[in-house]
Structure 1
Amino acid sequence: MASATQQQQHRRAMAVVLAVLLTAMPMRAASGGCEGDKFPAGRSYAHCAALPKLGARLHWTHDARTGSLSVAFVARPAGAGGAGWAAWAINPAGDGMKGAQALVAFRPSPAAPYAVNTYNITGYKPFGASSTAIAFRPTELAADDVAAAGEVRLYGKLQLAPGTEVVNHLWQVGSAVTAGAPAKHAFDKDNLEAKGKLALSGAALAPAPAPAAAGAGGSSAAKGSSAGGATTPSGAKPSPAKAAAAAPVLMLLALAVGFIATV
């Protein structure tokens, strides 16, 4: 049996371990994912996901019966000091940029408030300064910024077909606005892979399998394509990276159990 002195030492050590746990766990929760995003009063969403590219997050609420989809997209524009633009889109025709129905948040001029334009992306050409009509009726379009984080929050509601369950979605950031219109974005790996499938119910989707390598007779389109990953919403099975991030907390828990067992 442990002496009174040993028990007192164990209790002190246990108090230290618990203090570290209480500090570490909220920090882990806030350091990644989408749950820490805050929105103005009156804006709340049923689901959220940390998107796998460009450090972006998506929050949404979907009414499957009516087809109404409310979204909040959060991303850091690529320009210095938060300059540039951020965009989120649904593509009903495929998983690439062509055919995407986009919402784009940007400042038309440096002193102007944020605006949200809609664009039906029919080809690889620059955006104009004015919106173009898109396939999904947009309402409640707005945007604001989180100055401390250099991020833009894009809000909107889209009218999808009732019963829609899964959509192809894309997201993007750019570094400049020229003549009142978003300028072209970079073509780095993360930019080209900023796409995936989104389950509107909030359920996790298995990543799509990578396309088979084209043989000697394969098409050039297959060789040039890249597979986008599925979006994992909040509450789904954690990724290996998140599991690794939680390892120190689990180790501390194991230490705590050990201390309790020896008291």
Structure 2
Amino acid sequence: MASLSSSLAPILLCVTLWISLISPGRSLRCSSQQLSAKNESVPKFANCIDLPSLDAFLHYTYNASNSSLSVAFVATPPSPDGWIAWAINPTSTGMVGSQALIAFKSDDGKAINVKTYNISSYHDVKESKLSFDVWNMRAESLGKDNSIAIFAVVKVPEKAEKVNQVWQVGSKVSEGQPRAHQMAPANLNARAVLQLEGKRAPSPSSGATAPSPAGGSSASNETGDGGRRIMKNAGLYVALSVFVGSFIIF
């Protein structure tokens, strides 16, 4: 029995290390993310999610009283002079039709600009107005890892329960325009449905004001996607414990 337990020690160590990699602390990175590198006043959002592709994150608050969505999208371009983009597609789930916010460095490299693009085709990406209202747009660099945050408030259809979101990163900007991104699986899979029925901003009828990028709910999303990850990881941990324990007992 002692010999069996000794032989299983390396297995137990590997399992423990593996579990630590999928722990809630790792899967909930957005909840502890610092949104400003300049100690400025930044929005507080009701929800945050780790997007499933391109190591990107979305902080957001849905305000049903005026059908608006306050967002902070965070991603890291593949190169220091690259770009990041977040979009809503009102008509489909892909890139074409996306109403995009794209951020990249100014020509002098001293600021991060954010511009709007109506993506009408894969090859003709030009700055243009969006099909819905957007306000309070700004972008900033978050620090030494070259990550960028895009802040904005966008108008969504009244009583909407979900929207199609698309996000992307690219490595090159030429003549003030973002150039083509890579076609790796991570890039091609950078799309998802964003559910709006999470924690919402208080209604003005209760005495609260509508949120903007300078304000909003301060609650964190502890019961949404993050909570489901915690339960999933906990169940996996129990299953692994039972599996390994069965070898030790017998």
Normalised by the length of structure 1, the TM-score is: 0.66
TM-aligned CA deviation for residue 182 of structure 1 = 0.8
* Aligned with residue 86 of structure 1, among 59, 84, 87: 84
Aligned residue pairs: how many? 194
TM-aligned CA deviation for residue 143 of structure 1 = 0.5
In the alignment, what sits opposite 1:60? Answer: 60
In the alignment, what sits opposite 1:151? Answer: 147
In the alignment, what sits opposite 1:51? Answer: 51
The 5-angstrom pairing of residues 95-244 of structure 1 reads: 95-109=93-107, 111-128=109-126, 131-202=127-198, 233-238=224-229, 243=233
TM-aligned CA deviation for residue 181 of structure 1 = 1.0
Report the Cα distance in structure 2 between the residues aligned to 1:105 and 1:246, rounded to whole angstroms. Answer: 39
In the alignment, what sits opposite 1:228? Answer: none
Q: Which amino acid aligns with 1:237?
A: R
Deviations 1:2-47 (A, max 9, x none): xxxxxxxxxxxxxxxxxxxxxx99x955433211112242311000
TM-aligned CA deviation for residue 132 of structure 1 = 0.4
CA distance 1:72–1:233, change in 2 (3 Å): farther
Report the Cα distance in structure 2 between the residues aligned to 1:137 and 1:246, rounded to whole angstroms. Answer: 44
Q: Which amino acid aligns with 1:32?
A: S
CA contact (8 A) 1:47 1:234 kept: no
Report the Cα distance in structure 1 between the residues aligned to 2:224 and 2:90, rounded to whole angstroms. Answer: 21
Report the Cα distance in structure 1 between the residues aligned to 2:147 and 2:224, rounded to whole angstroms. Answer: 20
3-state SS of paired residue (1:54): coil
Report the Cα distance in structure 1 between the residues aligned to 2:224 and 2:111, rounded to whole angstroms. Answer: 31
Give the percent of matched residue pairs that are identical in Structure 1 and Structure 2. Answer: 35
TM-aligned CA deviation for residue 64 of structure 1 = 1.8
CA distance 1:30–1:145, change in 2 (3 Å): farther
CA contact (8 A) 2:24 2:229 kept: no
Q: Does 1:32 align with 2:30?
A: no
Cα RMSD for the two superposed structures = 2.9
TM-aligned CA deviation for residue 69 of structure 1 = 0.6
Deviations 1:119-151 (A, max 9, x none): 1111112433xx301112010100111222221
Unaligned runs of 5+ in 2: 1-18, 200-222, 242-250
Report the Cα distance in structure 2 between the residues aligned to 1:173 and 1:245, rounded to whole angstroms. Answer: 34
Q: Which amino acid aligns with 2:35?
A: F
Higher-RCO chain (CA-CA 8 Å, sequence separation at least 6): 2
Work out which of the two has the higher radius of gyration on C-alpha atoms and give 1 or 2.
1
Unaligned runs of 5+ in 1: 1-23, 204-231, 252-263
Report the Cα distance in structure 2 between the residues aligned to 1:72 and 1:84, rounded to whole angstroms. Answer: 18
Normalised by the length of structure 2, the TM-score is: 0.69
TM-aligned CA deviation for residue 88 of structure 1 = 0.5
